[in-house]
Amino acid sequence: MGHAGYMRYLRENGKKELRRTRISLPNPEGAQRKLEQLTARKWTWFIVPNNCASFVEEVFAAGGSRVSSWSNCPKLGWA
């Protein structure tokens, strides 16, 4: 999704971006494959262990990043 599509998504869904952080993805192809794999199946939400933050952490990890987030009860915190 490009910038215009993202802005449209925010506007149409009443969402607001609170913070943006630049990360390094040494293996962007791995991240893309993981994203496609995760979105191809139904994502079961279990509040803490399986939430939107953990979803993104899985994609980051597949891309070779060790970044995680403190928000929304994820695993490790921003590192």
Residue 4 covered by a domain: no
Q: Identify whether 2 is part of a domain.
A: no
Query: Would the pLDDT of 49 be above 80?
Result: no
Question: Average pLDDT, stretch 66-75?
Answer: 65
* Confidence (pLDDT) at 56: 87
- Residue 42 included in any domain: yes
- Host domain of residue 32: 24-79
Q: How many domains does the chain have?
A: 1
pLDDT, one tens digit per residue, over 24-43 is 999 999 999 999 999 998 87
DSSP secondary structure letters along 2-67 = -HHHHHHHHHHTT-----------S-HHHHHHHHHHHHTSPPPP-SSSSSHHHHHHHHHHHTT---
**Domain assignment present for 18:** no
